[in-house]
Amino acid sequence: MKTKHTLSKLKTVVPNILTVIILTAFLIYLVKNLDRYWQLLNLSPYLIGWAFALSVLLMFTNGLINFFLYRGLGVPLTINEGFGLASVNSLANLLPFAGGMIAKGIYLKRKHQLAYTHFLSATMALYVCFVAANGVVGLALLSYWKLVDKTNLPILLFIGFLVMAASIIVLWLPLDLDLVSDKWQQRLLQLMQGWYILVKNRWLIAELVGIQLLMTLIFAARIWISFHLLSQNVTLAQCVLFSAATILTNLVSITPGGLGVREVIVAAVATVLGFDADISILAVGIDRLVATLVIIILGTIYTYVLTNQAMNTSPSISES
């Protein structure tokens, strides 16, 4: 029991410590190089306005995924609820323990009686589909640059996006669960259960993947704005590649909101394409700042709205 209590405390404390370290290091670096970045800074009200608008639009499209997914699972979710769940999920993920999934699961169970197992398994399977779709986008862009533009690109980029695209195979592979631990057996069984739920409606999968690709484009536009706020001549196609790779941020939740993880992913891809890693990290930081302001505003509003809706649900209905 003592060991479990210690591990539980570490899971809470470590993200806080890492967040403080990352933010402190970033601020120190920023102060030391303030003159350089001040010269690059292009505070265009037009671009800043679009950055906020795209952050709201991205949240809305995320809400559409909630709407179509849970409708497909038999939940009579409204578009407003889908948008609200996306906002609350994003706000809760800013907490040290990344409670977005927990908050969403509790609401769907309380308000719409959606079983936790169906919720978790469908979400896991859908995430694999999204990773594979983004991998295909990355491979398509890299292939175009290689074959049409004759651009020399590192093989590691191709391998990375190929692995992402191939991840969909996991949903079809025959697995010998005796070879893995009990914990991973449970996760793999949940994943397969979620896939069986989704595969019954192939049109639903196509809709959700289509919305995910739209989100990839919207986030790419946000990154494009952030780079141009730093006077960087980056193309939208390059930003689509950055955006496609950032879906992997969800695999690492050691810091609130994937702080530092998304920045490292974009910086790694950007560096391979010839951009400065430090400027790339700062660009993602600017995007994160704008998005966080939007998340706090929308998340706070919808936490109040959805909490009231869930609390007003008839107990006799929620317990049936």
pLDDT digits (tens, 9 = 90+) for 39-49: 667 778 999 99
Residue 84 CA to residue 64 CA, distance in Å, equals 10
What b/e sequence results for 194-233 when a residue is b if at least 16 CB atoms lie within 10 Å of its CB, and e otherwise? bbebbeeeeebbebbbebbbebbbbbbbbbbbbbbbbebe
Give the pLDDT score at 219: 97
Give the pLDDT score at 171: 73
- HSE, side-chain direction, 13 A CA sphere, residue 183: 0
Give the pLDDT score at 211: 96
User: Is 107:116 a contact under the CB 8 Å cutoff?
Assistant: no
Please state, as a whole number, how many other Cβ atoms lie within 10 Å of the Cβ of residue 274.
Answer: 7
Nearest to 223 by CA among 266, 278, 159, 272: 266
Q: In what helix (H) or strand (E) does residue 102 lie, and over which residues does it extend?
A: helix 100-112
Q: In what helix (H) or strand (E) does residue 264 lie, and over which residues does it extend?
A: helix 261-272
Give the pLDDT score at 320: 35
Q: pLDDT by residue (tens digit) across 4-23? A: 555 455 555 656 666 667 66
Domain ranges in the chain are 44-311
Residues 6+ apart with CB under 8 A from 198: 72, 122, 125, 126, 129, 204, 205
Residue ranges in the chain whose pLDDT is less than 70: 1-20, 22-23, 25-26, 29-40, 96-98, 173-181, 183-185, 187, 190-191, 252-259, 313-320
- Alpha-helical (H) ranges within 148-181 are 155-166
